[in-house]
Amino acid sequence: MFFSIMSGGSMHSVLVGLVCLAIASAISCSSVGSSNNIMCLESERHALLQFKQGLVDKSNALASWKSEKDCCKWRGIACNNQTGHVTSLDFSFSYDPYLNSIEVPFRGEISHSLLELPYLNYLDLSYNDFEGTMIPKFIGSLSQLKELKLAGANFRGPVPPQLGNLSNLHTLDLYGNQVVSSENLEWLSHLSSLRYLNMSQLNLSEAVNWPESLSKLTLLTELELFMCDLPDVNLRSLSFINSSTSLQLLDLCYNSLNSSIFYWIANVSSKFIHIGLQGDQLQGPIPDVFKSMLSLASLDLSFNQLEGGIPKSFQNLCSLESLTLRSNQLSENIEDSIKNLSCAKNTLETLDLIGNLFWGSLPDLARFSMLRELNLAANQLNGSLPESVGQLSSLEVLSLVQNSLSGVITEAHFLKLSRLQSLAISNNHFSIN
Ligand SMILES: *[C@@H]1O[C@H](CO)[C@@H](O)[C@H](O)[C@H]1NC(C)=O
Ligand SMILES: *[C@@H]1O[C@H](CO)[C@@H](O)[C@H](O)[C@H]1NC(C)=O
Ligand SMILES: *[C@@H]1O[C@H](CO)[C@@H](O)[C@H](O)[C@H]1NC(C)=O
Ligand SMILES: *[C@@H]1O[C@H](CO)[C@@H](O)[C@H](O)[C@H]1NC(C)=O
Ligand SMILES: *[C@@H]1O[C@H](CO)[C@@H](O)[C@H](O)[C@H]1NC(C)=O
Ligand SMILES: *[C@@H]1O[C@H](CO)[C@@H](O)[C@H](O)[C@H]1NC(C)=O
Ligand SMILES: *[C@@H]1O[C@H](CO)[C@@H](O)[C@H](O)[C@H]1NC(C)=O
Ligand SMILES: *[C@@H]1O[C@H](CO)[C@@H](O)[C@H](O)[C@H]1NC(C)=O
Ligand SMILES: *[C@@H]1O[C@H](CO)[C@@H](O)[C@H](O)[C@H]1NC(C)=O
């Protein structure tokens, strides 16, 4: 199933996609961008036919390209409705089990003829199978491109630095091409219009200059570098950085980064909403680097070796919705730690501290009125469960498994827990009334 749009962000394309899925598969969605009597240009039609010739189209997905003369009406194509120029080429593949699709991804070669589409601003070839070939260098010459999506398309080899010439690019998605690498990310720093970058699961193990390159992308709001084997930050590079970016979402999970990444993050933006550093090599106490990130809503530092507790600087985080610190070596008194989340009392929905060494007894949690998930399993909590837990009327998940809690559990503990879906309290010393 693939679909086309004129322009706009990835959210737009998702919405259009959903609309298309809702219609019967036989109906072409590709006429969305074309209308009236504007026809496509002969030169562009010719270029598209050449492009088609390079592809192996096993399931004959492009059959409509023969019968219809106006290439603006072809599947996957959209044109400017005033000029008839081809603006969008959406060949992303996605298997749709509900439509019992017999389609298979395209294979083959990406033809240079795309260079004859001078107004192309959207190119999506994601999830096709380019059989371990390189990302073509000429893509760097499609100078009008605003969105380039080549996710999961089985490319191999280095990213061609020519992509750095795409100065109008807003969205670059190279996600999931595991054997694509980049030794040097200098080319990235030229993409001065970039808003969204996804290079998750590329091999960036040699890209030592990544902090400098990324901090030059001043309009970037979303950065996904999950499992890229990023090398540790060289602290000296921080002299280049001056809270220069607009970054709001950062995913650096599973990169083996050490704690100096905290300082890069603190310096690169104060507008963060989501930060993910799960599965890195963070050690020592959680530093005070988050204290000026007043919009921070979600922070995931799970599966590291962090020590200490939830620091006092978290008292500034009044928008926090989700805090996940699972599987670290945090070993403070639970009451002191939770106290430091007091400003998030009206926002916090998820508190996940599983698998740490928190000790002491649970404080009164009734103020955290939005709490939906409270997971404190596998710690060293003792004392009794405060009855105020029963006031958490939004609570859906409560786990206290494998602690040393004791005392009597009564009806009062469940007084307002009408939304509770999952309750786990085994491996404690409770007696139940
Ligand atoms: C032409 O395209 C523009 C921009 O995509 C859109 O806003 C407009 O409604 C379209 N006009 C027609 C007649 O389809
Ligand atoms: C831009 O493309 C030219 C060739 O068209 C190439 O020589 C140059 O290195 C490219 N610049 C970048 C930053 O990639
Ligand atoms: C990533 O690239 C480096 C150097 O090119 C190589 O040594 C390493 O094995 C690659 N990593 C993976 C997971 O393929
Ligand atoms: C971007 O990367 C993340 C992993 O960091 C992945 O889960 C996500 O699906 C990617 N987004 C797109 C639009 O491909
Ligand atoms: C950092 O920002 C300050 C004030 O915003 C400015 O005066 C200074 O020149 C900047 N430094 C660098 C290295 O850009
Ligand atoms: C992190 O790694 C860098 C590069 O190897 C090193 O210079 C730095 O001292 C390390 N920092 C910490 C806190 O371990
Ligand atoms: C980076 O952030 C840390 C912590 O907020 C601060 O101490 C340090 O001075 C900053 N470094 C630069 C170069 O801005
Ligand atoms: C939380 O803040 C209090 C001061 O309010 C401080 O004494 C305590 O050490 C902090 N907790 C942790 C785990 O750092
Ligand atoms: C909980 O454990 C701590 C030390 O681990 C101990 O000092 C404290 O007395 C215990 N509290 C209760 C109520 O058992």
Q: Name the closest-CA residue to atom 9, ligand 4.
A: 175
Residue-wise pLDDT for 126-183, tens only, equals: 999 999 999 999 999 999 999 999 999 999 999 999 999 999 999 999 999 988 899 8
Compute the distance from residue 81 Cα to the ligand 1 centre, in Å: 6
Compute the distance from residue 5 Cα to the ligand 8 centre, in Å: 52
DSSP 8-state symbol, 203: B
Q: Which helix (H) or strand (E) holds 206?
A: none
Measuring CA to CA, how many Å separate 428 from each of 227, 311, 420? 37, 28, 20
Q: Is 430 helix (H, G, I), strand (E, B) or coil?
A: strand
Residue in the structure block whose two tokens are 């963070």 = 282
Q: Name the closest-CA residue to atom 10, ligand 7.
A: 267
Q: Which helix (H) or strand (E) holds 308?
A: strand 305-308
Extract the tokens encoding 161: 């630095």
Closest ligand to 404 CA?
9
**Residue type, position 33, single letter:** G
Nearest alpha-carbon partner for 253 in 295, 232, 224, 233: 224
Q: Average pLDDT, stretch 2-13?
A: 36
pLDDT of residue 68: 80
Q: Domains in the chain and their CATH numbers? A: 40-343 (3.80.10.10)
pLDDT of residue 241: 66
**How much of the chain exceeds pLDDT 90, in percent?**
74
Q: Name the closest-CA residue to atom 1, ligand 4.
A: 198
* Pocket of ligand 7 contains residue 289 by CB under 6 Å: yes
DSSP 8-state symbol, 304: S
Compute the distance from residue 255 Cα to the ligand 5 centre, in Å: 30
* Pocket of ligand 2 contains residue 189 by CB under 6 Å: no
How many residues are recorded in the chain? 433
DSSP string, 11-64: HHHHHHHHHHHHS-TTS--GGGG--TT----HHHHHHHHHHHHHEE-TT-TTTH
Give the distance from CA 299 to its chain's centroid.
Answer: 13
DSSP 8-state symbol, 283: E
DSSP 8-state symbol, 170: S
Question: For residue 32, is pLDDT > 70?
Answer: no
Residue-wise pLDDT for 160-174, tens only, equals: 999 999 999 999 999
Q: Could you give the CA distance from residue 339 to residue 405 in angstroms, rounded to a whole number?
A: 20
Residue in the structure block whose two tokens are 């006031």 = 391
Ligand 8 contacts (CB < 6 A) are: 308-312, 332, 336-337, 339-340
Residue-wise pLDDT for 253-307, tens only, equals: 999 899 999 988 988 888 999 999 999 999 999 999 999 999 999 999 999 999 9
Compute the distance from residue 153 Cα to the ligand 1 centre, in Å: 31
pLDDT of residue 96: 67
pLDDT of residue 47: 95
Ligand 6 contacts (CB < 6 A) are: 232, 258-260
Average predicted confidence (pLDDT) for the chain: 88
* Pocket of ligand 3 contains residue 203 by CB under 6 Å: yes
Compute the distance from residue 235 Cα to the ligand 6 centre, in Å: 8
Query: Among the atoms of ligand 2, which is closest to the Cα of residue 160?
Result: 14
pLDDT of residue 14: 36
Number of H helices, E strands in the chain: 6, 26
Q: Are the C-beta atoms of residues 84 and 41 closer than 8 Å to each other? A: yes
Q: Average pLDDT, stretch 356-366?
A: 96
Q: Are the C-beta atoms of residues 254 and 279 closer than 8 Å to each other? A: yes
Compute the distance from residue 162 Cα to the ligand 2 centre, in Å: 5
Compute the distance from residue 382 Cα to the ligand 9 centre, in Å: 6
Question: For residue 8, is pLDDT > 70?
Answer: no
**Residue type, position 329, single letter:** Q
DSSP 8-state symbol, 245: -
Q: Average pLDDT, stretch 428-433?
A: 87
Compute the distance from residue 268 Cα to the ligand 7 centre, in Å: 9
Residue in the structure block whose two tokens are 């916090």 = 348
Question: For residue 19, is pLDDT > 70?
Answer: no
Ligand 1 contacts (CB < 6 A) are: 6, 35, 81
* Pocket of ligand 4 contains residue 126 by CB under 6 Å: no
Q: Average pLDDT, stretch 69-73?
A: 90
Q: Is 397 helix (H, G, I), strand (E, B) or coil?
A: strand
Closest ligand to 215 CA?
5
pLDDT of residue 162: 97
Closest ligand to 4 CA?
1
pLDDT of residue 1: 37
Phi/psi region, residue 223 (left: phi>0; alpha: psi -120 to 50; beta: rest), is beta
